[in-house]
């Protein structure tokens, strides 16, 4: 999101449609009426995971709302009520795991087998996805959507390195953001969306700002819906040019998360003497070695992005934690 | 509620039924598709006002969820989004008004015209209802229900000093709690309920513990549903015997609230030398006179209940504030 939040009002028909789209998301991740879906969310006016509630109703899974309590209370509630699935941001899944560890709560006591993510990239960033799956001992699914268009894509149980677009509810096009001409399958472009069932707020050929790469190959899951290879790859407005190199936050996150010891991080792009400068603050695990961690991240970024960031290890607990969308990437103008 | 909370799971059919019942509640208070209903609630696993969300969908009113923010943020949100109605406990309506006053927020800036209460008595306690209507400059409606049976009664726009039972969805009986024989219309007894549409959790002749008095007279609103005169009058398990006198918390609340200066209060029933003893702590307005306030409450309670309570004026802000069900009545065993 680049500007002030958009205010959208859904009619009851549109709201049913949201639920239908989320039915695809939940069923895609293998949820059935036997599942108990925990939604740890504050249920305010931000649409966020509200539609997951409707989706759960549609597929007749039990929905357990987790509003109005702190992270540790949520963990206890999930254990007590036997949650088998959870919808949250990737950031919050990691945050909950951190709270569990710090308070001696054993995550294995929750019969969770499925995590469904949204709200920010992460479930499609290989190192972040691996981290989440390892701390929770679950499968972790990606999903993408936006308040202004709806929930448009989801990962199926085959997980073919990408998400399916819900082509029964959306027309998707991938265009060159400069020329607005369609790009060939396999090439990266901007996702342009038309939603088909949102009576109260239709959008026609809406420029999402999301960068995707189409893969029209059939999927073993049997769905004929086209796939976004690797999910949403980034946002056209997220890109920062550092010393002539195009840098996407998700690419940096993937490299940082590859270092096992990293618990939290912050990336800052500042300008010094008219040159862009990349700083990375790291919080690392208690027993990890500072020098090794710094070196690992430094090497990964130099190798992959040809950039030499300034890397600092900061004391544990100094970086902000997030319950919803994280803000780990800062550009100082 | 007298014991640990009851855990009830609703099926999707039962949940639709909840929404249908809440449609009666909202329509009874005159809400239409032109209204904007604000629900300032934490949306956790407690069913509370969740069903109000479903009801709003049913009558096509706009629902604005107010989870995950503090009271002042909620006031600003209501103003910004033009809330015309709100569902909350009577206690929280008064709490919001207090927060508004303390932070210089003008309640008139919210186009609110209707308050619908539930979760505790208050909207049927004359002095509390008058207090809420005066600070908010709105009409204030009562409603009653319980997790284990559903939302069973509501006030219509005529406000005939009582609530209508939703007889299309419930069979209501009023029985003598000792003999379990029906009591004549006009006489107080225990409400015994059978719900007709909650497939997933039917209850048959459920003893609610709520005390009501039936009024079968027709209502000017045109509804033929029977009325509970004065709403739910109290709970059979709420009653405390103090020096041979039956004391109901709602009766004491009504007397305390009659004193304009009272901002918050706490009632304690303790036992001293085997005699029950009533203590009332009062927080009063800044410019009010302590002695006068204490005297007013003392006289009201002596006159109406023939009891001599011990009344203390405590410093402002020392008594607890509540966002959901209040706990102002304490019985020390």
CATH number corresponding to A240-331: 3.30.300.30
Span A80-109, average pLDDT: 95
pLDDT of residue A249: 85
Span A110-129, average pLDDT: 92
Three-class secondary structure of residue B307 per DSSP = coil
CB contact under 8 A, B45 and A64: yes
Tell me the two tokens of residue A113: 């087998």
| Closest by Cα among A269, A299, A283 to A102 | A283
What percent of chain A shows pLDDT beyond 90?
71
pLDDT of residue B6: 72
Long-range contacts of A108-112 (CB under 8 A, 24+ apart): A108/A137, A109/A79, A110/A75, A110/A78, A110/A79, A110/A82, A110/A83, A111/A82, A111/A83, A111/A84, A112/A78, A112/A83, A112/A84, A112/A85, A112/A86, A112/A136, A112/A138
Beta partners for residue A65, in sequence order = A39
Is the separation of the CB atoms in B206 and B149 below 8 Å?
A: yes
pLDDT of residue B276: 78
pLDDT of residue A2: 47
Chains A, B: CB pairs < 8 Å: 57
> B-chain residues within 8 Å CB-CB of A9?
62
Interface of B with A (CB under 8 A): 9, 11-12, 15, 41-45, 50, 57, 60, 62, 64-69, 77, 81
Please determine, for residue A3, whether its predicted confidence score (pLDDT) is greater than 70: no
The shortest CB-CB distance from A60 to any of B12, B41, B60 is to B12
Chain position carrying tokens 């006489």: B187
Is the separation of the CB atoms in A107 and A137 below 8 Å?
A: yes
Q: Which among B4, B11, B19, B42 is the top mutation candidate for probing chain A, defined by the most A β-carbons within 10 Å of its own β-carbon?
A: B42
CB neighbours of residue B7 within 10 Å: 9
The shortest CB-CB distance from B45 to any of A41, A50, A77 is to A77
Question: Per this entry, what is the length of chain A?
Answer: 333
> A-chain residues within 8 Å CB-CB of B57?
12, 15
Going by pLDDT thresholds of 50, 70 and 90, the confidence category of residue B1 is very low
Q: State the Cα–Cα distance between residues A124 and A212, nearest whole angstrom.
A: 12
Burial class (CB in 10 A: 0-12, 13-18, 19+), A315: exposed
pLDDT for A207-233, tens place per residue?
Answer: 999 999 999 999 999 999 999 999 999
Chain position carrying tokens 């108990």: A36
Average pLDDT, chain A: 92
Going by pLDDT thresholds of 50, 70 and 90, the confidence category of residue B329 is confident
Is the separation of the CB atoms in B197 and B170 below 8 Å?
A: no
Please determine, for residue B98, whether its predicted confidence score (pLDDT) is greater than 70: yes
Chain position carrying tokens 């709970």: B235
Span B79-104, average pLDDT: 95
Q: Is B216 left (phi over 0), alpha (psi -120 to 50) or beta?
A: alpha
Chain position carrying tokens 């003497």: A273
Residue of B nearest to A66 (CA): B44
> A-chain residues within 8 Å CB-CB of B45?
64-66, 77, 81
pLDDT of residue B321: 86
Chain position carrying tokens 């902000």: A320
Please determine, for residue B2, whether its predicted confidence score (pLDDT) is greater than 80: no
Residue of B nearest to A59 (CA): B12
Is the separation of the CB atoms in A144 and A152 below 8 Å?
A: yes
Residue of A nearest to B73 (CA): A44
Beta partners for residue A37, in sequence order = A63, A85
pLDDT of residue B37: 98
pLDDT of residue B15: 94
Is the separation of the CB atoms in A79 and A109 below 8 Å?
A: yes
Least confident of A307-311, B237-241, B296-300: B237-241
Beta partners for residue A114, in sequence order = A85, A139
Span B118-122, average pLDDT: 84
Beta partners for residue A154, in sequence order = A143, A164
Tell me the two tokens of residue A49: 């995971």
pLDDT of residue B109: 97
Going by pLDDT thresholds of 50, 70 and 90, the confidence category of residue B241 is confident
| Closest by Cα among A95, A139, A103 to A120 | A95
Beta partners for residue A234, in sequence order = A211
B70 Cβ neighbours under 8 A, 6+ residues apart? none
Q: State the Cα–Cα distance between residues B206 and B228, nearest whole angstrom.
A: 17
Burial class (CB in 10 A: 0-12, 13-18, 19+), A33: exposed
Q: What's the ipTM? A: 0.83
Please determine, for residue B151, whether its predicted confidence score (pLDDT) is greater than 70: yes
Residue B53 CB-half CA count within 13 A: 21
pLDDT for A39-51, tens place per residue?
Answer: 998 899 888 899 9
B298 Cβ neighbours under 8 A, 6+ residues apart? B308, B309, B311
The shortest CB-CB distance from A42 to any of B11, B57, B68 is to B68
Tell me the two tokens of residue A46: 């931000």
Residue of A nearest to B324 (CA): A68
Residue of A nearest to B77 (CA): A45
Q: B269 — phi, psi (to 5°)?
A: -105, 115
Q: State the Cα–Cα distance between residues A136 and A125, nearest whole angstrom.
A: 16
Please determine, for residue A175, whether its predicted confidence score (pLDDT) is greater than 50: yes
CA distance A72 to chain B (A): 14
Going by pLDDT thresholds of 50, 70 and 90, the confidence category of residue B307 is confident
Is the separation of the CB atoms in B154 and B164 below 8 Å?
A: yes
pLDDT of residue B64: 97
Residue of B nearest to A16 (CA): B57
The shortest CB-CB distance from B43 to any of A9, A57, A67 is to A67
Q: State the Cα–Cα distance between residues A124 and A201, nearest whole angstrom.
A: 28
pLDDT of residue B5: 63
pLDDT of residue A5: 63
Going by DSSP bridges, is the β-strand pair A227-229/A162-165 parallel, antiparallel, or unpaired?
antiparallel
Span B186-196, average pLDDT: 96
Tell me the two tokens of residue B212: 């009501």
Going by pLDDT thresholds of 50, 70 and 90, the confidence category of residue B330 is confident
Is the separation of the CB atoms in A98 and A107 below 8 Å?
A: no
CA distance B221 to chain A (A): 28
DSSP line for B235-284: ETTT-EEETTEEE-HHHHHHHHHTSTTEEEEEEEEEEETTEEEEEEEEEE
Least confident of A120-129, A244-253, A276-285, B286-295: A244-253
pLDDT of residue A4: 61
Average pLDDT, chain B: 92
């Amino acid at each position: 999101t680049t500007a002030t939040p958009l205010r959208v009002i859904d009619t009851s028909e549109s709201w049913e449609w949201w639920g239908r789209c989320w039915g695809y998301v939940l069923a895609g991740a293998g949820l059935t009426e036997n599942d108990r879906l925990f939604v740890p969310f504050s249920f305010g006016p931000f649409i966020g995971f509200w539609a997951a509630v409707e989706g759960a109703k549609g597929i007749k899974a039990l929905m357990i709302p987790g509003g109005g309590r702190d992270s540790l209370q949520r963990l206890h509630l999930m254990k007590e009520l036997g949650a088998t699935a959870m919808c949250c941001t990737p950031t919050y899944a990691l945050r909950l795991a951190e709270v569990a560890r710090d308070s001696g709560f054993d995550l294995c006591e929750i019969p969770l087998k499925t995590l469904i993510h949204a709200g920010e990239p992460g479930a499609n960033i290989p190192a972040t996805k691996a981290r989440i799956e390892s701390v929770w001992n679950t499968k972790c699914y990606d999903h993408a959507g936006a308040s202004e268009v709806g929930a448009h894509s989801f990962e199926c149980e085959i997980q073919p390195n990408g998400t399916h677009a819900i082509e029964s509810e959306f027309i998707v096009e991938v265009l060159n953001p400069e020329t607005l001409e369609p790009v060939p399958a396999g090439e990266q472009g901007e996702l342009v969306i038309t939603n088909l069932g949102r009576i109260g707020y239709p959008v026609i050929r809406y420029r999402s700002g999301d960068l995707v790469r189409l893969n029209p190959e059939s999927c073993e899951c049997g769905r004929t819906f086209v796939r976004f290879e690797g999910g949403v790859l980034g946002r056209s407005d997220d890109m920062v040019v550092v010393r002539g190199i195009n840098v996407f936050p998700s690419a940096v996150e993937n490299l940082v998360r590859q270092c096992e010891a990293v618990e939290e991080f912050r990336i800052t792009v500042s300008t010094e003497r008219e040159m862009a400068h990349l700083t990375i603050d790291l919080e690392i695990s208690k027993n990890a070695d500072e020098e090794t961690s710094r070196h690992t991240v430094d090497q990964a970024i130099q190798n992959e992005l040809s950039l030499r960031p300034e890397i600092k290890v900061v004391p544990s607990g100094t970086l902000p934690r997030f319950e919803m969308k994280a803000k780990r990437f800062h550009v100082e103008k």
